[in-house]
Every structure is written in structure tokens, then in C-alpha cells.
Structure 1
Amino acid sequence: MTTVLPRLHNPGLLIFLRHGETDWNAEGRMQGQKDIPLNATGVEQARQNGQRLKAFLENARIDPSELDFMASPLGRTRMTMELARTEMGLAPGAYRLEERLKELTFGSWEGSTLEEIAETAPELVERRRADKWGFVPPGGGESYEMLTQRIGGWLETVDRPSVVVAHGGVFRVLRGLLEGLEKRRVPKLPVPQDVVFIWRDGRLEEI
């Protein structure tokens, strides 16, 4: 049984922003596909990431009109994209939505912390801890393995330099696919919300 993800193609330049912080992020709640808005910290993170991205493109002499801007359809990602584009001097709404970029869903666990869940279903929390890659939360949840199939299908359609605003889980599996990482590493990859991630010619940079 293979333990390493197949390395998928890189479109030459792929820029990723995670949405800014929400109150549920700050509280450690499983957010998944619940539509939770940015908090004040998240708004500032989105603006600063827009400034970082603008500086990067100017230094690299890349015209933003050459890039395909796309975001998950959830409110926190749309707001992050629009704040970032405003800081870049671009029309805030001139981007497209991509359903496949939604966060993985935690099913009936959404809105709860792991500590809360451990009080009623400690055996499930232990199963998740033992196999975070393959564990499927109850109530229609998704595993990282399932999310990887969704994101892999999307990545195969990316055929031009792109700016993506999506979620922590999406970044983890995207990085796993672009770099051919071990499956067990993928769910544990850090995804700060105040960093712009850039894959350029197959190498990851953070600004």
C-alpha cells in the first residue's frame, strides 16, 4: 500500500492564501463548510496578505491581469479575496468561485471542539488521532483522503498561473499533491493565515 501521494503537475506559478481568522478558528472549533465570517484579526490578515502579494507581483514584474483569481465559495474565503484584491488596487469582485475548493466537511462535528467531542465520543477522537488521513467524521464528514480526490481533480484543470484563496485542509492536500508528500504528514502541515504561499517552478516560497 503506497504511503506517498502521486506528484501532480504544477502550473508554473500557483499562489495560495488561506482565509483570515474567524472566531471559530480562535476557539478551536471544527469549521468545515459552515459559513463563519472573518473576525477583526482575520480582516487585517487578509489586507496584509494583499499587500504582500502586490509587492511580490511588482518585484517579479508579473501583471495581475495574467493571473486566474479563484476562491472557495464560502463567505470567509470570498471576503479574504476581496480584501486582498482591494489592497492590490484591483476590482474586489473580479474573480471566480470554484466549488471544489471548499474546505473538507466535519459532518456533525462542525461547531464543536475536539475536547467537547471527547466527552461524548472518546473512541472516535482516538480513531481520528490514530489515522487523521483516513478518518471520516460522522454525519456526512470527509476524510483528508476524500478531500485529496476532490482537490486532485481540480488541480488537473489548472492550466495557467493562478491565485487561490481557500482553506487549511485544502492547502494541506494541495501541498501534498504538488510535492509528493507522505500521506501521514499531510493532515499535520502548518497553514498560518498571515502568509502568502507561492509555488514557482515547483518550489514553495512563503512571504
Structure 2
Amino acid sequence: MSPTNIILIRHGETAWNAERRLQGHIDIALNAEGLRQAAATADALAGERIDVIVSSDLQRAAHTADAVARTRSVPPLHATVQRDPLLRERCFGGFEGLLYAEIEQRFPAEFAAWQAREIDAPMPSGARAAETFRQFYQRVVPAIIAWGQAHPGRTLALVAHGGVLECAYRAALGLSLETPRDFPVLNASINRFRLDDGKLGLVSWGEVGHLHPKVLDELS
């Protein structure tokens, strides 16, 4: 089977990214800066071959993907952008909608376990049941691989979320889930992978030269 090229893109900025408020599955729109970033990302990729565009079904990713699709001349990919809920951000349950400082204050034990990278530690439920990091990883990595295997020899643009990008990076480099996240995961960044024989490999990471001014990684 021919290798597949995967361009993995994080959505543009939202107001909640800017204020360090946890989104998870809450469906937050891009802010004005995020819309600008999405357009800049689309322009940066306009000259590259892209055969298939897929996004998370949350609007911050979907609208970023739509911006990329609108720059494609042939074929008219803007008419066929696909949405996949398996590419959603991690569900954080009762943490969602709260500032990081509020999470630490309201749920000190659970917050400490989260920050300590306890990958099977439960979080409190909210409107939705939370996923552990292991459950999240086991959801998104097979989804990315499945899209790649469905389109051998082609180039895919997958537009998703910071946590999804983190999982792909760990899978490609064989990093333990327990290790700290010591690599940037930036809004509207372009990250390139190659899927060969069912295994992800990293080609390049964190391309943001198309974006000005500085882009956010809200965990930093």
C-alpha cells in the first residue's frame, strides 16, 4: 500500500483559547484572530496538493477546514469537506467551560492528577462524561490512521484540536503518554506526517511562519 501524506492542522484561535478557558467538547466559534489565522493557513496551503479534507465536527475546526477548502481550485473540495466526530478534542467533563485557575480551585485533587499526567485518572462528569487521556488517545490515533489507510498514496488535510495533535505527535515518535508535553501545539499550525504500513511518522512539526503575530499554545 502506498504511503499517505497527512497534513494535520490545529484550528484557529477562539476567545476561550485566549483566556485559558477549557473547551473540550463545548462548541466554541473562532474569534476574529482565529478567522484571520484560518485564512492565512488556507493561503499557505493553496499551492499544495490536497486530495481530501476532513475536520472535527466542532465548529472551530470545521470553520478552519472550510477556509482551507475554499482556496482549492480543482477539484472543488469546498463542497466535500468531511466531518468526523472521532477527531474532536478530548472531553474533559466537569472541567469544561472553566478557567484553568478555576479548575484547580474547585477540583484540586483531580487537577493535580491531570497535571501529573496520570493518564487513567478520572475527571468529574459535567454535561458529558469525561475521557481519560488513554481513552482519548485510543479514540483519535486509530481515527487518523483509518483516514490515511482509506486514501493510500494521497494527501489528506485533517483539521482538529490541540489534544489530537499531541496524540499524533506521541504516536509518531513513540512517546509514552505519561511524559510531559514539552513540545508546542499552536493554533493554526501546520504539522506533517506520513502514514506507511499503518504507522505514523513525523515529517515536520509546528509550522507557523504563515501566521503573524504570535499564536497561542494555552498550556504554556
Taking structure 1 as the reference length, what is the TM-score of the superposition? 0.83
Tell me the matched-pair count.
191
> Structure 2: which 5+ runs fail to align?
196-200, 208-220
> Structure 1: which 5+ runs fail to align?
1-8
Matched, 1:94 2:80: yes
Q: Assess, with a 3 A threshold, how the Cα gap between structure 1 residues 21 and 10 changes in structure 2: closer, same or farther.
A: farther
Task: State the 1:132 CA deviation.
Answer: 4.7
SS at match of 1:84: helix
Task: State the 1:155 CA deviation.
Answer: 3.0
Taking structure 2 as the reference length, what is the TM-score of the superposition? 0.78
The corresponding residue for 1:69 is: 53
Output the CA distance in 1 between the equivalents of 2:141 and 2:54. Answer: 16
Output the CA distance in 2 between the equivalents of 1:178 and 1:37. Answer: 29
Output the CA distance in 2 between the equivalents of 1:196 and 1:179. Answer: 17
Post-superposition Cα deviations, 1:37-69, rounded to whole Å, max 9, x if no partner, equal: 0000100111111111123x1xxxx3x3xx221
Task: State the 1:172 CA deviation.
Answer: 0.6
Q: Which has the higher helix share?
A: 1
Alignment of 1:6-21 (within 5 A): 11-21=3-13
Identity of aligned residues (%): 28
Q: Assess, with a 3 A threshold, how the Cα gap between structure 1 residues 73 and 10 changes in structure 2: closer, same or farther.
A: farther
SS at match of 2:78: coil
Matched, 1:29 2:58: no
Task: State the 1:85 CA deviation.
Answer: 1.8
Output the CA distance in 1 between the equivalents of 2:118 and 2:65. Answer: 29
Q: Identify the range of structure 1 (88-97 vs 123-132) with the bigger mean alpha-carbon deviation.
A: 88-97
Task: State the 1:102 CA deviation.
Answer: 0.8
Alignment of 1:138-177 (within 5 A): 138-139=124-125, 140-157=129-146, 158-159=148-149, 160=151, 161-177=155-171
Contact 1:72 1:166 in 2 (8 A): yes
Output the CA distance in 2 between the equivalents of 1:126 and 1:186. Answer: 14
**Cα RMSD for the two superposed structures:** 2.2
Output the CA distance in 1 between the equivalents of 2:183 and 2:111. Answer: 19
